[in-house]
Amino acid sequence: MRIVIPRVGRLLLFLAAIGVLRAEVPAVKEGASYDAGGYLLNNNVWGKKSSPTGWQVIDDIHAGPKLSWRVRYDWPVGSAPHGVKAYPSVITGWHWDLWSSDHRLPRTVSTLRHVLTGASVEIANPGVQNVAYDLWFHAAGVHPDKNKQPTDELMIWLDARGGAGPLGKYVATVTVGGAEWRLNVGDIGWKVFSFVRTVPSSSWDIDAKAFIDYLVAQGRMTPDKQLTSVEFGTEVFRTNGEGSFTVTDYFVTID
């Protein structure tokens, strides 16, 4: 039997094959997460108690080798003017009781060659917020499911809006990966290293391993630590009405 597929049908099959057509996905509500092609989108609202009337939703997701997503939010200043209200983010690896489904982490720092990552972002009606990676590390031989306490946290700020600033004290301005960064170091029960780009960027490709190598070379981190997570998103301190954060072509490649 010969089956004839109409021209429109052939076009739809072709578009589906190349990934242009994507299944409709549900909105990710506050506190929920969603598996998106191995990445884990996390609608993190950990500071909501200080701004209980605030809200946030991830409502546009395009999964694939590169991930695109949008989060909308409105976070009044509340009772903590300088406190983070939320960190809507995409996770590779571990985040406290959560794991992404791709099983690429943990990895011992000394075995890593590259942690390549990139994206483009657009912020509508920016408030006080950043555009930042959050990398987590655990001690050698410690599995995060058995001992959640990390030893180190590495943040890479590509942008800071509205006067947002990192935790800890400024220690130096350094060059990593061909760009200039202000390094802050703090301690909240684990070490927090924040690299803040002196010239903000809305589109980039970076090797996060270069920041790890810098810390190891400076004696601030040991190479036997485990990289357990690479996260990326926006820490929102407060907004002036509704805003949105749109990410396109996000990826993480670990080797």
Which DSSP helix (H) or strand (E) runs through 211?
helix 209-217
pLDDT at 18: 37
Residue with structure tokens 């499911």? 145
Where does the pLDDT of residue 3 fall: very low under 50, low under 70, confident under 90, or very high at 90 and above? Answer: very low
pLDDT by residue (tens digit) across 151-179?
Answer: 999 999 999 999 999 999 999 999 999 99
Residue range 22-30: mean pLDDT, rounded: 74
Residues 6+ away with beta carbon under 8 Å from 141: none
The per-residue pLDDT for range 106-145, each reduced to its tens digit, is 999 999 999 999 999 999 999 999 999 999 999 999 999 9
Phi-psi map region of 219: left, alpha, beta (phi>0 left; psi -120 to 50 alpha): left
How would DSSP label each residue in 113-161? S-EEEEEEEEEES--EEEEEEEEEEE-TT--TTT----SEEEEEEEEEE
Taking residues 51-76, report their average pLDDT.
96
Q: To which H or E segment does residue 215 belong?
A: helix 209-217
Q: What percent of the chain has pLDDT over 70?
A: 90
What CA–CA distance (Å, rounded) separates 212 from 210?
5
What's the pLDDT at 26? Answer: 74
The average pLDDT across 38-52 equals 97
Please check whether residue 112 is in contact with residue 154, taking contact to mean a CB–CB distance below 8 angstroms. no
Mean pLDDT value across the chain? 92
Are β-strands 152-161 and 191-197 bridged in parallel, bridged antiparallel, or unpaired?
parallel
